[in-house]
Amino acid sequence: MIVPSTVGTDPLSGIDQVIHAPARLRIVTQLYVVEAVDATFLVNQTGLTWGNLATHLRKLEKHDYVTIEKGYRGRKPNTVISLTQLGREAFRSYRELMQHALGDGS
C-alpha cells in the first residue's frame, strides 16, 4: 500500500490549475511580457488553432485573468487581448510556487 506521506506538504497542492494547463500557461506567459496583443499575433506565437485559443481564452476570461476587446482594424474585426492585474498577480504567484517546488529558480 502506498502511503501518501507528502499530503499536506506537497508544494504543488495549491497550484493554480487555470494557469497550469500548458496551452493556457503559454498564453498567459506571452501576455505577461507585453501590454496587449491581438488574436492573430497570439495564434502565431502560441501555435494554437483559433478554436483552441478561443476555448482557453474563455476559461481565462471566466476567472478574470484576461480582458478580450472586440474591435475593428480598418473594416475587419480584430480582437485585442490583455492580462488583467489579477491575471498578472496569478502568474507571479504561479511562478513563485513553481520555483519553490522545483527549488532551482527556474
Partner 1 sequence: MNDQDLRALERQTFRAATDDGLWDVLIAGVFAMFAVAPLLSASMGDFWSSAVFVPIWAAAFLLIRTIRARVVAPRVGTVTFGQDRMRKLKRLNIVLLVVNLLAALLGVIAALGAQLGWLNLGNGSLAYPLGLGLVVVVGFTGAAFVTGIWRYYIYGLMLAIAPLVGEWLWRNDLASHHGFPVVFGVAAGIIFVGGVVRFAVLVNGHPLPPHDLPV
Give the interface with partner 1 as residue ranges (CB under 8 A). 29-30, 32-45, 50-51, 53-54, 57-58, 61, 68, 70, 73, 76-80, 82, 95, 98-99, 105-106
Q: Find the shortest distance in angstroms from Cβ 95 to partner 1.
A: 6
Pairing of strands 66-73, 76-83: antiparallel
Q: Find the shortest distance in angstroms from Cβ 14 to partner 1.
A: 18
Residue 24 CA to residue 26 CA, distance in Å, equals 5
Q: Find the shortest distance in angstroms from Cβ 29 to partner 1.
A: 7
Considering beta carbons, is residue 4 or 51 the nearer one to partner 1?
A: 51
Residue 24 CA to residue 2 CA, distance in Å, equals 32
Residue 31 CA to residue 59 CA, distance in Å, equals 15
